[in-house]
Amino acid sequence: MQKLVTIFGGSGFIGRYVARRMAKDGWRVRVACRRPNEAGFVRMYGSVGQVEPVLANIRDDASVAAAVMGADAVVNCVGILAEAGKNRFDAVQAEGAARVARLSAAAGVARLVQISAIGADADSDSDYARTKAAGEAGVLEHMPDAVILRPSIVFGPEDQFFNRFAGMARMMPILPVVGPDTKFQPVFVDDVAAAAALAAEGKAAPGVYELGGPDVDTFRELMQTMLKVIRRRALILTVPFFAARLMAFGLDMGQKLSLGLLHNGTLTRDQVRNLAHDNVATGPGFDAFGIAPTAMEVILPGYLYRFRPSGQYSDIKDSARNLKT
């Protein structure tokens, strides 16, 4: 009988890659998300009826219970980078993760995979990192044999990191950077999905794994790499932490005073706190899954080319310049 996996956030950045891999491995895939009518694209990851989006809100017991009913495995990919409306860090990343584990255990789910983040720390001054740690604790309380994956910053065609800064470089001659010397270990989204799929299929021992790519670079070095890929020049401007905190405070207050009408998707105070800490993997990682992580240089040109001065025609124009007349 074909096994069933429920993927919370399965239409999101990481979740869609997990869904595609699980479908390829022959699983029935239930993609649990808040707007299933906007997630129809996931159906194409498998044969007719194999992948199905369903309504679920990680903040609601009834919808989560319905989503995990009959599942053999559950993967929780839900997380937020900034708070908006009812989606608060505590509600989504701490209480939501614990809710998924509690109701999965009650439903007799055999395996649970929780996507967390490097830097998860119960004593952190960052709400993001603190609630990630609280979510891990909630998961392990209800399902001690769960697999927890902590990726560094994740890159891929739909990412909100390289795409965001490449878009800025296309429009401005200056790239403001907070914490230019902070270290990151960017990890390809499909490598994270591969690890999640193996864990959901029972091919990894229970525990916490930190996932990073083959390269460790500072924030400044990552921006230099991105600029090289998109063939543009920009001044990388260091924004001191005190100035970043003032800027973030103003943006956060704008969102609060507007009652959420103005969403701060630029820079929050919590993000400034996170940027003060390195984001590098330690301990068990991809080796435990038999996965060789993919280098940025292999992937970035494949989706950042659209930010080049001539877009998809850049290589053709460069080639034409070398033709002898």
pLDDT in tens, the chain (325 residues): 789 999 999 999 999 999 999 999 999 999 999 999 999 999 999 999 999 999 999 999 999 999 999 999 999 999 999 998 889 999 999 999 999 999 999 999 999 999 999 999 999 999 999 999 999 999 999 999 999 999 999 999 999 999 999 999 999 999 999 999 999 999 999 999 999 999 999 999 999 999 999 999 999 999 999 999 999 999 999 999 999 999 999 999 999 899 888 888 889 999 999 999 999 999 899 999 999 999 999 999 999 999 999 887 777 777 777 775 5
The C-alpha atoms of residue 144 and residue 283 are separated, in whole angstroms, by 19
Residue 251 lies in a domain: no
Angle, CA of 186, 41 and 91, to the nearest 5°: 60
What pLDDT does residue 325 have?
52
- How many structural domains comprise the chain? 1
CATH code for the domain of 66 = 3.40.50.720
Inside any domain, residue 207: yes
Distance CA 2, CA 23 (A): 11
Tell me how far apart the alpha carbons of residues 240 and 229 are, in angstroms, rounded to a whole number: 27
Q: What is the pLDDT of residue 260?
A: 82
pLDDT at residue number 318: 72
Give the per-residue pLDDT at 97.
98
- Cβ–Cβ < 8 Å for 105, 138: no
List phi, psi (to 5°) of 205.
-70, 150
The two tokens of residue 51 are 């992948």
Q: From its phi and psi, is residue 321 left (phi > 0), alpha (psi between -120 and 50) or beta?
A: alpha
pLDDT value at position 109?
A: 98
Examine residue 81 and state whether it is found in any structural domain, yes or no: yes
Residue 270 covered by a domain: no
Spatial distance between the Cα atoms of 108 and 289, rounded to a whole number of angstroms: 25
Q: How far apart are CA 266 and CA 173, in angstroms?
A: 18
Q: Residue 24: helix, strand or coil by DSSP?
A: helix
Domain that holds residue 103: 4-159+185-216+278-295
* Token pair recorded at residue 117: 């983040």
Asked if residue 247 is part of any domain, the answer here is no
CB of 196 within 8 A of CB of 149?
yes
Question: Residue 232: inside a domain, yes or no?
Answer: no
Q: Tell me if 241 is assigned to some domain.
A: no
Is residue 36 in a domain? yes
In Å, what is the CA distance from 285 to each residue of 78, 115, 195, 204?
Answer: 21, 13, 9, 11
Cα torsion 184, 188, 189, 191 to 10°: value is -120
Measured CA to CA, the distance from residue 152 to residue 80 in angstroms comes to 15
Tell me the C-alpha distance between 68 and 90, whole Å: 22
pTM score: 0.94
